[in-house]
Amino acid sequence: MRISRVLKSGVRNSGVLVAAGLLLGAAVAPAVADSSPSASPSGDSAAPTSAGTSFRTATEIAQGQRATAGGSAGDYLYWSFPADTGLRPTVKATVKFPQSAERGASQTWQLDVYDGLRRRQACQYGAQTRTAAQDATSVDLSCTLRTVRAWSEPWADDPLPGTYYVRLTLVDVATGDLGLPVSAEVQVDSKDIGGSAAVDGSLSQPLVPGIATASDTSDEGSDSAKASLFSLEPDDGWASGWWTDRWVWTAIGGILAALAGIGGYALTKGSGRPRQVPPGA
């Protein structure tokens, strides 16, 4: 009888553990899903139709926008975009050659990405440099960066939250082809990696050019206010990645461990009644 009671108690507690885990998972799933940033830009923002010629004149684009620009072979084309903690940006570019442009040889195009400190960032994967044949009508390039970290050692070259620059240019072209018309399309999308990329610590300010010299604008009419060199930022503000699903699953693990301890105690504590001694023993 005692064994059967213990087994029944264990079954009941196991059922409670499973039910609690399912309820917690169902309650947390919407919160985790809502934490993913939207890659779509606002509907009232028009996609840019030009590109800058240097870091300081780079055209700002929001993630999800398809920016276009016209130029000439040999030009340096620059765009800039914001990237926050926990995101893994992917930059895609397409260079199109008009039918009227007769190239005398193949052309090699390259896509480079720099962070707010103008450090060139390595691509995890993607065709960063490609050669267009003489008769090609377009060439596609892409670069997927490493996940943006909230904090890094000063000597490291890890991607950090802030402004990122895209540079599209020719690296190998015949002299006779310089100046031929080209058109370019650039788009940046990001994947939210989540708590697996979370680290302890964070930057006091994102790596946005000019943010260190921008004064407090709370005092209206202040003549000392200076504009930042980059105006775009994530929809929910910088350092929006401080909340990750790592906190959620850590809490779930602690609750399940506590319930497992309660269930183990119920299985091993026994009935609690003194053992009866047969008469005459």
Task: Name the residue with tokens 């040889």.
Answer: 105
Pair 183, 229: CB distance under 8 Å: no
pLDDT one digit per residue (tens) for the chain, 281 residues:
443 443 344 444 444 444 444 444 444 444 443 333 334 444 445 889 999 999 999 999 999 999 999 999 999 999 999 998 888 999 999 999 987 667 788 899 999 999 988 999 999 999 999 999 988 899 999 999 999 988 878 788 889 999 999 999 999 888 888 888 999 999 999 988 866 666 666 777 888 887 655 444 444 444 444 445 667 777 777 765 556 666 677 788 888 898 898 888 888 876 556 666 667 65
Round to whole Å and give the CA distance between 250 and 52. 45
Tokens read off for 165 = 């620059």
Pair 21, 274: CB distance under 8 Å: no
Task: Give the DSSP letter string of the chain.
Answer: -HHHHHHHHHHHHHHHHHHHHHHHHHHHHHHHHHTSPP-SPPTTSPPP---BSSSTTPEE--TT-EEEEEEETT--EEEEEEE-TTEEEEEEEEEE--TT---SS-EEEEEEEE-TT-PBPPEEES--EEEE-TT-SEEEEEEEEPPPPS---TT-----SEEEEEEEEEEE--GGGTT-EEEEEEEEEEEE-GGGG--S---SS-B-TTTTTPPPTTSTT-TT----S-----TT-TTGGGS-HHHHHHHHHHHHHHHHHHHHHHHHS---PPPPPPTT-
What is the CATH class of 59-214+225-237?
Answer: mainly beta
Round to whole Å and give the CA distance between 170 and 188. 20
Pair 190, 92: CB distance under 8 Å: no
Q: Could you tell me the CA-to-CA distances from 75 to 108, 111, 167, 277 in Å, in that order?
A: 13, 13, 10, 99
Whole-number pLDDT of residue 93: 97
Alpha-carbon radius of gyration of the chain: 29
Pair 61, 48: CB distance under 8 Å: yes
